[in-house]
Chain A
């Protein structure tokens, strides 16, 4: 690889990795630390980039592993969506009021309470716009597994939305 630089090749991955790390650690400062460690590791291994098929998938895998380590150390784990209390929620109105805004953050909390792998796949697909193949490559699982996890995540979200 000619003409590589940290600024043009590695740094642009930062925001995407940050969103992933944030959804796992649930803490902005920790997520930034994870991204910093990840980007430095990717840069230090630049002599081996030619052996890596997909640099972004490699960076996502590295970032996810580091974020999971931090989350585990902090004792954070993912609960099942079924355990989340939703009885106090009311449907959104067309005009977003303060109450509606609170509900939006509740949707986020419910998404954050999905099992980590489902949450990560939902993020990579719905927010980062990745293909099933790219997600499978980054997480080291098959495309079929990706679809199964995504289906479970979406079904839970739909069930919650219908029940409120």
Chain B
């Protein structure tokens, strides 16, 4: 691997000619384990600077300072959101909507089953009544025809 670019950057670093971005490149390069032997002596400087960047104040410092200036210490971090009255009722609307949908579906299903049950016996009744009429008496036209035809034949027979 060619380390010429890193070597050039390093030379410019010592001369204070590198930009902050170029210094970040150098820092990232020296963070890796497999640094060539020629550049290895410089690694300790960048690693040490990394460690120094991780030095922080003690944990209770923040709360101590907040107490000193009279601001409350953060007990729990949570984002507060302003809820309008309508928004607070939103779960209720959802529940009511769900109930309304269930009722509509239930009602529609009940009605369709009820109509089918109501129509089926009526049809069966009319069909059976017609059939009985045909079988026992015959149609009304047939009845009147038979009643009128019989006397005529009888008169004809007597007139002859």
- Interface residue ranges, A against B (CB under 8 Å): 5-7, 11, 14-15, 18-19, 22-23, 28, 32, 35-36, 39-40, 43, 91-94, 100, 103-104, 107-108, 111, 123, 126-129, 131, 147, 150-151, 154-155, 157-158, 161-162, 164
Q: Kindly state the separation between the CA atoms of A109 and B90 in the bound complex, as whole angstroms.
A: 63
Interface size, B (range)? 35 or more
Nearest chain A residue, comparing its CB with the CB of B52: A127
Partner of A92, one of B41, B49, B55, B65: B41
User: What is the interface of chain B mostly: helix, strand, loop, or mixed?
Assistant: helix
User: What chain A residues lie within 8 Å of B62 (beta carbons)?
Assistant: 11, 14
Knowing A91-B41, A131-B20, the reply to whether A6 touches B71 (Cβ < 8 A) is yes
CB distance from A124 to the nearest CB of B (A): 12
Docked-complex contact A111 and B43, CB < 8 angstroms: no
Docked-complex contact A107 and B44, CB < 8 angstroms: yes
Docked-complex contact A35 and B49, CB < 8 angstroms: no
Docked-complex contact A127 and B53, CB < 8 angstroms: yes
B105 sits at the interface (CB 8 A): no
Q: Kindly state the separation between the CA atoms of A102 and B66 in the bound complex, as whole angstroms.
A: 38
Residues facing A in B84-135 (CB within 8 A) are: none
* Interface hit among B9-17, B136-144, B149-157: B9-17
- Interface residue ranges, B against A (CB under 8 Å): 13-16, 20, 23, 33-35, 37, 40-45, 47-49, 51-53, 55-58, 61-62, 64-66, 68-69, 71, 74
Knowing A11-B62, A32-B58, A111-B48, the reply to whether A151 touches B16 (Cβ < 8 A) is yes
Q: A-B contact count, CB below 8 Å?
A: 93
Partner of B40, one of A7, A18, A39, A91: A91
User: What chain A residues lie within 8 Å of B35 (beta carbons)?
Assistant: 94
Docked-complex contact B65 and A19, CB < 8 angstroms: no
Docked-complex contact B61 and A14, CB < 8 angstroms: yes
Nearest chain B residue, comparing its CB with the CB of A130: B20
Partner of B16, one of A40, A108, A154: A154
Q: Kindly state the separation between the CA atoms of A32 and B61 in the bound complex, as whole angstroms.
A: 8
Docked-complex contact B44 and A155, CB < 8 angstroms: no
Knowing A11-B62, A91-B41, the reply to whether A126 touches B57 (Cβ < 8 A) is no
CB distance from B117 to the nearest CB of A (A): 71
Docked-complex contact B23 and A126, CB < 8 angstroms: yes
The 10 A-B residue pairs with the shortest CB-CB distance, nearest first, are A107-B48, A6-B69, A127-B53, A151-B16, A18-B57, A107-B44, A161-B41, A147-B16, A150-B16, A15-B56
CB distance from B6 to the nearest CB of A (A): 15
Partner of A43, one of B13, B34, B56, B69: B69
Jot down 23 A-B pairs with beta carbons below 8 A, ordered by A: A6-B66, A7-B66, A7-B74, A15-B57, A18-B55, A19-B52, A22-B55, A23-B52, A28-B58, A32-B57, A32-B58, A32-B61, A36-B64, A40-B68, A43-B69, A91-B40, A91-B41, A104-B44, A104-B51, A107-B45, A108-B51, A127-B52, A128-B53
